[in-house]
Amino acid sequence: HWLGRKDYADLPAYAAGWDVALMPFALNASTEFISPTKTPEYMASGLPVVSTMVRDVVSGYGHLNCIRLAKDAAGFVEACADLISAPDSARMAWRAEARDCLADKSWDGIAGRITRQIDSALVTRRIADLAFPASGPKAQHHDVLVVGAGFAGSVMAERIAAGSGRSVLVIDKRDHIAGNAYDHHDEAGILVHKYGPHIFHTNSRDILAYLSRFTRWRPYEHRVLAQVDGQLVPMPINRTTLNRLYGLGLATEAEAEAYLASVAVPVSDIKTSRDTVVAQVGEDLYEKFFKGYTRKQWGVDPSALDKSVAARVPARTNTDDRYFTDTFQCMPADGYTAMFARMLDEPRITVMTGTGFADLPDGITWDHLVWTGPIDEYFGHRLGKLPYRSLRFEHETLPCEQAQPVAVVNYPDEAVPYTRITEYKHLTGQHAPLTSITREYPAAEGDPYYPIPNDAAQAMFKRYDALARACDNVTFVGRLATYRYYNMDQIVGQALATWRRLDARWQSEALTGSGAVAAE
């Protein structure tokens, strides 16, 4: 039967009246390189196919039971007879086989994959452009110089350029953008965080909405286990932790609350991190989970550290084992660096990585400075050096698909030199036969990562802050410049608020004609 041209929509109805579909293509020069869409079309309509040995049918579908290959007329007859006499169960199996084979072959699916590949290639190229600028800044004068390309600097630069319409030069002494949130593919092709695990979490819809201009998100809820007494148990301490560690059968929140109340140590005036913990969970849990970890992380006993540090991980009486309880918890779908690359991809922004403030080439001038580096460095440490805690990161790729059950395992035992091990694939959702991990070793010397929340350091910071407030043409913003132990979302919020104030000032200066005169 030759039915002539038919609409796609009618194909299933026609196919339903037949047992086998035929592809008797001649094998000659004009069919040597064809890839007949007829094969998947027949398969999609639920029929087995007998075809001549067309190259793409052989290589793409020849391995399937629902596809038979025949060299001549006799071969076709034999294959058809065999297919027609097959039982219903075989037909069902062919259809399942066809569905599996065709699942990733729709035009929309293929177009979507190509688009994603192009997007990711463009982002990679943009990152490369930003990380290694071919030449220095084109213009020598910039309205604003931003020192530091982390969250604080990049948000400020984006707002000042796109929101206030001013030209911005962003510099960073590291050879990349994104500050501590920088991620990249390591030699094994695994997306890793160079400066330890960064998990985005916030309660602010506005902050999430702002960052969503530059990234899509991957839903991710962070879970941490702690290695204690030879077991991996949930951290922050929750009801499961208590039951596993002490062999208890606490079934309700009230029972867990009563248990914690029975072991808690009354502290009249909670001042230190030790006070916070023992008042909540008592001495034994303090020793097991907090004492060693904090002494390693901060180089001092929890009794010498502000209460706010350990208060970041309060114990729970329920079985919620998420590390954070914020409303929004997610990871940038293409990673942090890609998000920063889009944020800085603004015609009024020029980026120079590998350039410290002290080594800026001669002749570069600006009207206003945004400083996101350490505040004491800006003032030449004239009031003394502010203390910061540093970390050494040991990155390793392991020859297995998964190294640990969750993204982060904490090691509170003081005998273990590192504090935690991170396995990135849990955070990023990447699939690969290998996996990459990072061990964090706290250190006194090195890059400044953590401002130290104690009274002496805060007192010194306050004196620097007074100097900063007197600098009319310099804005201090970020974790190092405002000396605060802030998370990423808090820094984004701080930078957005700082920009709003700066923009309002510029607008009122424009109205009154009282523009600030460059200090440099």
Q: Which of 332, 442, 478, 493 is the binder for ligand FAD (CB under 6 A)?
A: 478
Stretch that binds ligand UDP, among 89-97, 214-222, 307-315, 455-463 (CB under 6 A): 307-315
Per CB under 6 A, does 309 bind ligand UDP? yes
Does 491 help bind ligand UDP (rule: CB under 6 A)?
Answer: no
> If binding is defined by CB under 6 A, does position 313 make contact with ligand UDP?
yes
Residues 225-284 that bind ligand FAD (CB under 6 A): none
357 binds, among ligand UDP, ligand FAD, none (CB under 5 to 8 A by kind): ligand FAD
**Could you tell which of ligand UDP, ligand FAD, none binds residue 226, using a CB distance below 5 to 8 A set by kind?**
ligand UDP
Element (H, E) at 274: helix 273-285
Q: Residue 231 half-sphere exposure, CB side, CA atoms within 13 Å?
A: 14
Under the binding rule (CB under 6 A), the answer on residue 294 touching ligand UDP is yes
Q: How far is the CB of 428 from ligand UDP (least distance, A)?
A: 18
In sequence order, the β-bridge partners of residue 352 are: 171
The single residue among 181, 310, 330, 341 that binds ligand UDP, judged by CB under 6 A, is 310
Q: Is 486 in the site for ligand FAD (CB under 6 A)?
A: yes
Round to whole Å and give the CA distance between 60 and 111: 19
What does 281 bind: ligand FAD, ligand UDP, none (CB cut-off 5 to 8 Å by kind)?
none
> Of all helices (H) and strands (E), which one includes residue 351?
strand 349-353
Max CA-CA distance within the chain? Answer: 96
Residue 152 binding: pick among ligand FAD, ligand UDP, none (C-beta 5-8 Å cut-off by kind): ligand FAD
Stretch that binds ligand FAD, among 1-9, 38-46, 476-484, 506-514 (CB under 6 A): 476-484
CB-count burial class (<10 Å; 0-12, 13-18, 19+) for 454: middle
Q: How far is CA 418 from CA 285, 323, 366, 450, in A?
A: 20, 19, 43, 16
C-alpha count within 13 angstroms, C-beta hemisphere, residue 490: 9
Residues in the chain: 520
Asked whether position 412 contacts ligand UDP by CB under 6 A, the answer is yes
Q: Minimum distance between the CB of residue 156 and ligand UDP, rounded to whole angstroms?
A: 23
Residue 199 interacting entry, from ligand FAD, ligand UDP, none, C-beta within 5 to 8 Å by type: ligand FAD
3-state secondary structure of 511: helix
What's the token pair of residue 61?
A: 């579908």
Report the nearest approach of ligand UDP to the CB of residue 371 (Å).
Answer: 23
Strand bridging mode 365-371 / 388-398: unpaired
Which x/- pattern, by CB under 6 A, does the window 383-402 give for ligand UDP? Answer: --------------------
| From 131, 160, 407, 491, residue interacting with ligand FAD (rule: CB under 6 A) | 491
3-class DSSP state for residue 409?
strand
Residue 249 contacts residue 258 (beta carbons within 8 Å): no
Part in contact with ligand UDP (CB under 6 A); list of ranges 171-179, 184-192, 285-293, 511-519? 285-293
Binding partner of 410, given ligand FAD, ligand UDP, none, CB within 5-8 angstroms per partner class: ligand UDP
198 binds ligand FAD (CB under 6 A): yes
Choose which of 356, 361, 405, 515 interacts with ligand FAD (CB under 6 A): 356
Residues 172-231 within binding reach of ligand UDP (CB under 6 A): 226
The item of ligand UDP, ligand FAD, none sharing an interface with residue 51, based on CB under 5 to 8 Å by kind, is none
Told to check if 181 binds ligand FAD by CB under 6 A, we report yes
> Taking a C-beta distance cutoff of 8 angstroms, is the pair 272, 306 a contact?
yes
Write out the DSSP string of 110-170. Answer: HHHHHHHHHHHHHHHHHHHHHHS-SSS-SSSEEEEEEE--SHHHHHHHHIIIIIT---EEE
Task: Spell out the SS3 assignment of 168-219.
Answer: EEEEECCCCCCHHHCEEECCCCCEEECCCCCCEEECCHHHHHHHCCCCCEEE
The whole-angstrom separation of Cα 138 and Cα 363 is 12
Among 36, 46, 137, 150, binds ligand FAD (CB under 6 A): 150
49 lies in the binding site for ligand UDP (CB under 6 A)? no
Binding-site partner at residue 148 among ligand UDP, ligand FAD, none, CB < 5 to 8 Å by type: ligand FAD
CB 36 within 8 A of CB 47: no
Q: Interaction with ligand FAD in 442-471: which residues (CB under 6 A)?
A: 449
Contact residues for ligand UDP (CB under 6 A)?
A: 226, 235, 289-290, 293-294, 297, 309-310, 312-313, 410, 412
